[in-house]
Amino acid sequence: LKKLFANIALDIPIDSIFTYEVPDYLFDYVSIGMRVLVPFGNRTLTGFVIGLTDSTEVQNTKQIKSCLDSEPVLTNEMIKFAKFISDYYLSNLGEVLSLFIPKKLSVNSEIYFSLTDNYIVELNNLSKANEVIFDIVNVILKSKDRRLTKKQIENKLNQNITYSLELLVKKNIIQKEKLYTKTTQVLLVKYIRNKTKNLPLDDVKKEFGIKTLKQIELYELLIQNKEIELTELRKNFQIPDSTVKSFVNKGIAEIFEIKKERRPDNLFEEEMKLLVLNDEQKNAVDKISESIRKNEFKTFLLFGVTGSGKTEVYIRLLENAIKENKQGIVLVPEISLTPQLIKRFKNKFGDKIGVIHSKLSEGERLDTYTGIRDGKYDIVVGPRSALFSPLKNIGVIIVDEEHDHSYKQDNSPFYNARDMAIIRSKINNGVCVLGSATPSVESFFNAKSKRYELLTLKKRATKSALPFVKVIDLKYKYATDGYDFKEDIEKLKIKFLSKELIYSIDRRLENKESILLLQNRRGYHSYIECVSCGLVEQCERCNISLTYHKHIDLLKCHLCGFTKKRNFNCSNCGSSKLISSGAGTEKIEEEILEIFPKAIIERMDSDTMTSKSKYQKVLSDFYKAKIDILVGTQIISKGLDFPNVTLVGVVNSDIGLLLPDFRAAEKTFQLLTQVSGRSGRSDKPGEVIIQTKHSEYKLFSKVIEHDYDGFYDYEIKLREMGEYPPYSRIGLIEIKTKDFNVCKEEANKIYFILKKFKYKDYLTILTPSQPLFSKVKDQNRFHIIVKSLKSNDPSGKLLIDSFKFVKENYTKQKDVKIIYDIDCMSFL
C-alpha cells in the first residue's frame, strides 16, 4: 500500500521541518500551501504543507489530523519568497509563512481546566486541603465559562500551581479538556424577505391573520423593499423581534444571512484633484510602466524632492498595472499611513483598493485579507506587513519613503520590507519602485552603480518653490536681538525657542497661516538632576534617565514604559535642589502657549494620539486651518500635505544627531529635509527655521541648500572609510540576560565561536561591547557586530553562514536570549 507524507512548517522557534503521514481520506485532498492541524507533543498546532513525498527517513511519523483549507492559502511563489527570508534572516520557515496569514486564522489547541460534576463531594473526601486548592477551585468557579487555562489561573493567583493542579485532576475534582482557539469568523448579517410573492395586504390579512399595527407596518415594508436587514427594522422602524418571529412562524417571511464585509471607514475628506503630470513625472511613469508591461524585473529609485508629486506617479503606475491585468502593493511607513494618503488612493481606485494598518479590528483584518485573496482588490496599501499580501499576479511593488527605518522589523523575523520588496518583485518578474525625497545612502549608491535605475523629480508639482531654510545656532542666539515684540517676551522664561523663531511664528499667526513645530522627543523634561550630588533619576529596570510627563505628573521610562512618582528630594542625598533639563513636546507646547496665549495649539505625539479617531480629527482640523500651531514628534514629519503651512520650526535638531550610530547624520538629514518639505506647499512661500547647537555639522548646510547630492557625496566617503553599508553588510548578535557577568561570559563564548568560523578572515568581527542602553527591562545587553564587505561577499552568504555556525555550535544557557539580526538598523 502506498503512503504519502507531508513536510510541515510550524510556527514555533525550532529550525526544523516536520514530517507527517497523510491519512487515506486526505490523500486526494491535501496539497502544498494548505494549512493542516497536526498533533505535536500533546498539543495540536496549525502547520503549513510545504512538500509532499511518498517516502521518509523519519521514524514514527504521526498522522495529519485534518485539513483547514479547501484550496491552498499559500502559492508556490509565496513559499519560495518565505524560504528566501527564512534563509537570509535565519528565522524559522513556519514563522515567516505565518506572516502571510492573519494570526487569528490559526487554530491551536489549549488545555482548559474545569470542575467535575461532583467536585464538592470529592473536595470533602480530600484528607487535607490547603489554601491553594480552594483558591484554584474559586478562580475557576468565578470565571466566565467556568474553565481556565493553567496560565490564566497562574496569572490570577500569582503563583505556580502545576503540582496542585495535577493533584486535583488525579482526585477527580478538576478535569482537563482540550479546546481549540477561536478563529475570527466571517460576519453574517440577517435579512428578512417576503415569502408570499407580494400578495396584496388585504389578502395577507385574510390568509395569515395579521392585524396589529406593527405587523401591517412590517408587511408594507416587505412589499416596498426586496430585503431588509433585521437590525435596520429594529433601529429605524422600531419593529420588535416578536413581530418578525411571528411572520416567520406564519410563513409570511423568511430570514436569510448574507456575508458582510467589514470595511474601516475613513473620516478624512479631501477633494479629488485633477492633476496633470509634468515632464519629469510623465517620464518616470512611462519608463516604469514599460518594465511592468514587459514583465521585466527591475528596481527603480524614484528620487523626488518633497512635494514633487510622487504619490501621483504611484497612482498612474498602478493604473497602468491594472490595465495589464496586474496587481500592485504600496508600502508606506506606518506613521505616514494617514487618512489623507488613503483618501487619495480611494478617490482613484474606489473599491479596488485594500488598506491594511495596525489599528484594524480582527474582523476588518480578516475581511481585508480574504478580499485580497479572492481577487477583489488589485491594490493593497499598508505598512511593512502588507508585503505579505496574498495577491496572485504582482506587477509592481512600491516602497514609499524607502529610507524609513520602520520597514525593518525589530523582532523575529528581522526582515527589512524594503529589501524584501525587491526580492518579491524579482520572484514575480515584477517591478520594484523605491520612492523618497531623501533616499537612503544604500539605495542611492545602488542607483549610482546602476543596480537600480534612477529617476529624478526635481520640480515641485504645484510649481511652488522649495522653502527657505535657515539654521540658527543657539550658541549665538542673542545675535538675533532687536526684534520688536508686542508683548515683552523677556519677562517670560523662554528657554527653548529663539527670538527669531518666535518672531516668525508671530508673523504667521498674524497672516492666519499654519505652523508646524517639530520636537522629536516626548514628555516635559528629559531628566531631573540633583544639584548637590549630580544624581540623575534613572529607570529602575533600564539604563536610561526618566522623562517627566507633566500631564500625568509622572516620571516615565521611554524604553520600558515604567512610571513612578516624582520625588521632590534627591533619592541619594536628600537634597531638595533638583533641576530639570531638556524639553519634550509638552514643554514646547507650554512655552508657545505662554508667548501666544490666543493661538490654537495641538500636540501630536504617541502620548496624545491614543486613538485613530483622535489622530484623524487633529489632522482634519489642521487641514481646515482650525489649528494654528501643531507641535509634534517625527509623527508630523512625513507625508502630510497641508497647503496652509508656511512655517516649519525644528526646536532641537541635535536629538539623535549625537548618538553613537553611523547613520545618525543621515537620519537627521532625512528628518530635517522631510519636515522642511511640509512648508510652503501651495502658492504661499514657505520658511523653515532649524535650531541647533552644532551648526558646524556638514549636513546643516546641505539641508539649507536642499542639496541631497552634496550630502550623499560627503557621507558616502565616510561609509567607505568605515567599511559601513553600502560597502558592507552588518550583522548583529545581541545577548540578553539578567545577570551582567553571565551576559558578558556568554557574549565572549559566542565571540570565540565566531573566531573559529572557517571564513572568519573575510569578516570583521568586533569584540563584544555594551550598547548605549546597556540594560533594558532588567536585561543586560551585549552586542557582537560582524561586518562583511560586499566586495568579498556580494550575497551576504559568508555573514549568514557565520551566524548559522554560531547557532549550531553555541549551547544556550538558561534565560539567555540571543538575537541574530542581519542588516541591523540600530546599535543602541
Minimum Å gap between C-beta 21 and DNA is: 7
Distance (Å) of CA 340 to CA 159, 347, 348, 353, 383 = 49, 11, 13, 15, 15
- Using CB under 7 A, which of 69, 77, 87, 110 touches DNA? 110
Residues 787-816 that bind DNA (CB under 7 A): 814-815
Give the three-state DSSP class for 410: coil
Q: Which is closer to DNA, CB of 302 or CB of 776?
A: 776
Verify binding: residue 41, DNA, rule CB under 7 A. yes
Name the one residue in this structure whose C-alpha cell is 499559500: 74
Verify binding: residue 132, DNA, rule CB under 7 A. yes
Verify binding: residue 130, DNA, rule CB under 7 A. yes
Phi-psi region of 348 (alpha: psi -120 to 50; beta: other; left: phi over 0): alpha
**Long-range contacts, 203-211 (Cβ 8 Å, 24+):** 204/252, 208/250, 208/251, 208/252, 209/250, 210/246, 210/250, 210/252
- Using CB under 7 A, which of 4, 9, 18, 749 touches DNA? 18
Verify binding: residue 43, DNA, rule CB under 7 A. yes
Segment interacting with DNA (CB under 7 A) among 40-48, 219-227, 464-472, 556-564: 40-48
Minimum Å gap between C-beta 560 and DNA is: 19
How many Å apart are CA 679 and CA 645, to the nearest integer? 5
DSSP output for 31-80? -TT-EEEEEETTEEEEEEEEEEES--S-SSPPBP-EE--SS-SS-HHHHH
How many Å apart are CA 500 and CA 513, to the nearest integer? 17
Q: Which is closer to DNA, CB of 560 or CB of 819?
A: 819
User: Which secondary structure element, helix H or strand E, spans residue 456, and what is its range?
Assistant: strand 453-457
Radius of gyration for the chain, computed over Cα atoms and rounded to the nearest angstrom: 31
Minimum Å gap between C-beta 62 and DNA is: 4
Q: Which of 621, 631, 561 is nearest to 596 (CA)?
A: 631
Minimum Å gap between C-beta 27 and DNA is: 17
- Using CB under 7 A, which of 2, 128, 182, 450 touches DNA? 128
Q: Which is closer to DNA, CB of 273 or CB of 814?
A: 814
Minimum Å gap between C-beta 777 and DNA is: 15
Q: Is 465 within 8 Å of 680 (Cβ atoms)?
A: yes
Minimum Å gap between C-beta 814 and DNA is: 5
Verify binding: residue 411, DNA, rule CB under 7 A. no
Minimum Å gap between C-beta 751 and DNA is: 22
Segment interacting with DNA (CB under 7 A) among 55-63, 394-402, 574-582, 608-616: 55-63
Q: Which is closer to DNA, CB of 40 or CB of 708?
A: 40
Q: Which of 520, 497, 504, 503 is nearest to 647 (CA)?
A: 504
Phi-psi region of 615 (alpha: psi -120 to 50; beta: other; left: phi over 0): alpha
Minimum Å gap between C-beta 105 and DNA is: 17
Contact track, DNA, 210-249, x by CB under 7 A: ----------------------------------------
Q: Which is closer to DNA, CB of 37 or CB of 716?
A: 37
Minimum Å gap between C-beta 402 and DNA is: 32
Verify binding: residue 40, DNA, rule CB under 7 A. yes
Segment interacting with DNA (CB under 7 A) among 12-20, 379-387, 535-543, 633-641: 12-20
First-to-last CA distance in the chain? 59
Provide the angle, in degrees to the nearest 10, between the axes of the packed helices 310-323 and 279-293.
30
Minimum Å gap between C-beta 274 and DNA is: 53
Residues 143-202 that bind DNA (CB under 7 A): 150-151, 159-160, 162-164, 167
Beta strands across the sheet bearing 379-382: 353-355, 379-382, 327-331, 394-400, 431-436, 298-304, 453-457
Chain residues in the site for DNA (CB under 7 A): 12-14, 16, 18-21, 38-43, 58, 60-62, 110-111, 128, 130, 132, 150-151, 159-160, 162-164, 167, 814-815
